Amino acid sequence: MRKIFLTAACCLFASASFAQMKMVNRAFSEAKMENPDFNAARNAIKEAMENPETKEVAKTWYVGGFVENKAFENDQKKMMINQEVKENDMYNALYNTYKYFRVAAKYDTVPNEKGKVKPKYLRDIKTILKNNQAFFMNAGAYYYNQKDYNKAGEMWQTYLDIPDIDFMKSMDIKKDTTYTQIKYNRAIAAVIEGQGKDDKAVHEVAIKTLEGLKDSKYNEMDVYKFLTYEYETMKDTTSLVKTLEEAVTKFGKDANKDDYQFLLKLINYYIYSDQAQRAIAYLDKALETDPQNAEYWKVKGSLYSELKDDDKAIECMKKAIEINPDYVDAIGELGRLYYNKAIEMTSEISTIKEDKAYIQARNEKVVPYYKLAMPLLEKAHKMKPDESMYKIALRGIYYNLEDEANLKRIESEM
């Protein structure tokens, strides 16, 4: 009885496997017909793909890819004669061709019982994938225009991946300027897709692709611009600063163009991270190419003020005002510097005990700074009458210069 049972079981196994291979052959035959029923072919092959007896068989997946490729080709022919085609379905068929052929190639290159690899379908798979590569370019453009940036990126990534598949390397697919352009498109699709999303994977794709473009000389400044955006989004300060410094070195005088401002971003980073000396060093670079930029001189002066180098701070503020006589922030800042110098000198002479000597020292060392500060702060106050800092400083000046009329006036405004 045991032998009869085992024989019967083997018969059942063979029968099930044979039935599934019939489904594979049916799908293959249907796809090759003059007017194929692709739905029927797909249903047949789908069953075989899911069945344990045939889901790890190379022919199953090869036929799946063959069916999808025929469906794609059929739609392509319709487009050429201006017949209506559902492009989404057409490009899904294109992608499924690639997807199924990748699985088919895996099973087709499994060594046999003698340890040898004897593929049956690989040659055809390689030829079709090479011929189809260019269509993934169009597929990406289609989905990009539909604002489906995830799908667009997937299609362009497939275009990029095909030459690097191990079994495709023998096809010697050239990576020319078109390849670089598609790589850039793929990066932009990821950047747009990731906007406003806390999706680390999407941002990592954008960064990896953009990093791979830095030496391509294709839209170089845009590549760096999007990289800085991605690193800012990811809060990766180390990579952000490295990228900005590279951009400043690479683009020189163009590093601070309105649409990019790598140099300004770098300066601001060093300012906000309390690295005044480095900020000044990069401000000097900015001033080499734009010496008449009053804002740069003003910021440089403020940094020197933070470093307690008042002489250089005053020099920079004067330069800013020379360039722009109505630059209220520089005017007010220069007034503040002189005011602070007066306070500093007051402290310095406070140890003088003899009245006459003290008055003389005050008139020589303190009062001149108040007098330098006063017209500047008055002008700044006139330009920005609501700025409390100017009012407070002017009150102190009028008090110390014993200007009662102006003291009453400014106090009435406060």
pLDDT at 90: 97
Long-range contacts of 60-63 (CB under 8 A, 24+ apart): 60/24, 60/104, 61/100, 61/101, 61/103, 61/104, 61/107, 62/100, 62/101, 62/104, 62/108, 62/120, 62/121, 62/124, 62/125, 63/24, 63/25, 63/27, 63/28, 63/31
pLDDT at 9: 42
pLDDT at 414: 85
Q: Estimate the share of the chain in helix, then strand, then coil, as percent rounded to the nearest 5.
A: 80, 0, 20
Q: Could you tell me if 193 and 150 are in contact, meaning their C-beta atoms sit under 8 angstroms apart? A: yes
Q: Could you tell me if 146 and 130 are in contact, meaning their C-beta atoms sit under 8 angstroms apart? A: no
CATH among 1.25.40, 2.60.40, 1.10.3470, 1.10.10 for 327-414: 1.25.40
Question: Is the pTM here over 0.95, yes or no?
Answer: no
CA-wise closest residue to 101 among 140, 133, 137: 133
CB atoms within 10 A of CB 75: 21
pLDDT at 289: 86
pLDDT at 30: 84
Report the alpha-carbon angle 38-43-49, nearest 5. 120
Residue owning tokens 């047949």: 44
- 414 residues of the chain, pLDDT tens digit each: 344 444 444 444 444 455 668 888 888 888 889 899 999 999 999 999 999 989 999 999 999 999 999 999 999 999 999 999 999 999 999 999 999 999 999 999 999 888 899 999 999 999 999 999 999 999 999 999 999 999 999 999 999 999 999 999 999 999 999 999 999 999 999 999 999 888 899 999 999 999 999 999 999 999 999 999 999 999 999 999 999 999 999 998 888 887 888 999 999 999 999 999 999 999 999 999 889 999 999 999 999 999 999 999 999 999 999 999 999 999 999 999 999 999 999 999 999 999 899 999 999 999 999 999 999 999 999 999 999 999 999 999 999 999 999 999 999 988
